[in-house]
Amino acid sequence: MPRKGRRNRDWQRYERDWKGYERYRRDEVNLYLAKAKSLVDSNPAPWTPGKLGQPPYPAKAMVILLLLKTWLDMDYRSVSAYLRAFPEQRAKIGLKKTPSHTTIRNHMLRLPETYLRRLNTRLTKPYQKGG
């Protein structure tokens, strides 16, 4: 009877697809943004813009930005700098210009926590153990 263990494993089966892995790591943020955008677009906006003051940033675009901030675990200044450094990411989010760190913070305070938690849970569920 052959002994089960490491010696008898078929190591070809355990080899990693390194090209696919590197492609995923390179496109990780793009994949996350595409999934977040489709999820946010399928839900109602968390608030409607007021009539006074400057023209506001789109509510759904700011929600996508706040989800990205939460996922990347960045502070407000870092997210603002990230969007300035990568304008193609800003365009994918749906913003014409980069909001300041204060604007991002104000939108985070305005967003209901339950709304953000619900979206974040639905986004990360496939990646969680047993999900």
Looking at the domain assignment, is residue 37 inside a domain? no
Q: What does the pLDDT look like over 94-126, one tens digit per residue? A: 999 999 999 999 999 988 888 888 888 888 887
Looking at the domain assignment, is residue 47 inside a domain? no
pTM: 0.75
Looking at the domain assignment, is residue 16 inside a domain? no
Looking at the domain assignment, is residue 32 inside a domain? no
- Our count of domains for the chain comes to 1
**Residue 87 sits in which domain range?**
57-131
Looking at the domain assignment, is residue 31 inside a domain? no
pLDDT at residue 86 in the model:
92
- Assign 3-state DSSP to the chain and report helix, strand, coil percentages, each to 5: 65, 0, 35
Listed range (12-21, 42-51, 54-63) with the worst mean pLDDT: 12-21
